[in-house]
Amino acid sequence: MSTSNVRDRPGTLPVRLVKTAGLFLAISMVTFAAVNILANMFQHPFIMIVEVVVVGVPFLVAVGCAVGAVVAKIVQHNRHAPV
C-alpha cells in the first residue's frame, strides 16, 4: 500500500530522520571512496571540485537530518512535559 501522507507511515519523526541521516551518510562514504579511487586513476585537479560536490551534498543532508531528529525529539519531549 503506497501512501503519500507522512502520518500514515510507521515510526516517529525522529526515527525516520535518523534513518534518512544514516542513508545519506552511507551514500556520502561510498561516493567518497569511489571518487578517491577515480582521482588516483585520473590525477586531475578537477576531481577535487567534483569530490566536494558529490560527497559534500549528501553529507550536509545527513547532518541536517540528524539535527532535525534531535530537535524533533526535544520538541516531542517538551510537548508532553507539564508546564
Q: How confident is the model at residue 9 (pLDDT cuts 50, 70, 90)?
A: low
State the Rg of the chain over Cα.
18
- Region 30-40: mean pLDDT is 82
Into how many domains does the chain fold?
Answer: 1
Please give the share of the chain, as a percent, with pLDDT higher than 90.
1
Domain annotation covers residue 5: no
Please give the full DSSP string across 2-65, using - where no structure is assigned. Answer: ----GGGSSS-HHHHHHHHHHHHHHHHHHHHHHHHHHHHHH--THHHHHHHHHHHHHHHHHHHH
Domain annotation covers residue 6: no
Looking at per-residue pLDDT, the higher value among 27 and 38 belongs to 27
Asked if 18 and 69 touch (Cβ cutoff 8 Å), the reply is yes
Domain annotation covers residue 60: yes
Write out the residue range of the structural domain in which residue 23 sits.
13-78
Q: How confident is the model at residue 45 (pLDDT cuts 50, 70, 90)?
A: confident
